[in-house]
Copies of this chain bind each other. A is one copy, B any other.
Amino acid sequence: MGKLMRENPDMAALAMEKLRAAGLRPTRQRIELAAHLFAGPDRHVTAESLHDEVVVSGIKVSLATVYNTLHQFTEAGLLRQVVVDAARGYFDTNTGNHQHFFLEDEGTLIDIPGDTITVAGVPTAPPGLCVDRVDVVVRVKRA
């Protein structure tokens, strides 16, 4: 069950579709990255974790390109960033309204569906500012 695009024309076609729709030129690297990110269920990646994964799958991509691509995908609305760790940035393929468990020992994220947690009483933003987003992070540890 190889993951290379050249062995999965359907996934590649879908990825190219998605890239064109986002106004991004479908290059080998972007197609492979998009296939890894969007072919299965939602996921949370780090630039480095995604890079390792793609490199192992046999495609040559530089880490700089992974960073570029993650940022471009984010700007295009295909990904969103999640801030839970002051040392690492995470990217999330689930761009809808939802929250996270953060497993501090492992450094992994688990989605909490958007209608699970209710946040009430958020004060109005300070003058001249507006609320961009309300993030809830449930930090969990070994019991």
Contacts and interface: CB of A to CB of B under 8 A. Distances in A.
Interface of A: 81, 83-90, 101, 103-104, 110, 112, 116-123, 125-126, 128-143
Nearest to A136: B136
Contacts of A103: 126, 129
Nearest to A89: B86
B141 A130 contact: yes
A129 B123 CA distance: 31
A134 B138 contact: yes
B139 A134 contact: yes
A34 B121 CA distance: 33
B118 A130 contact: no
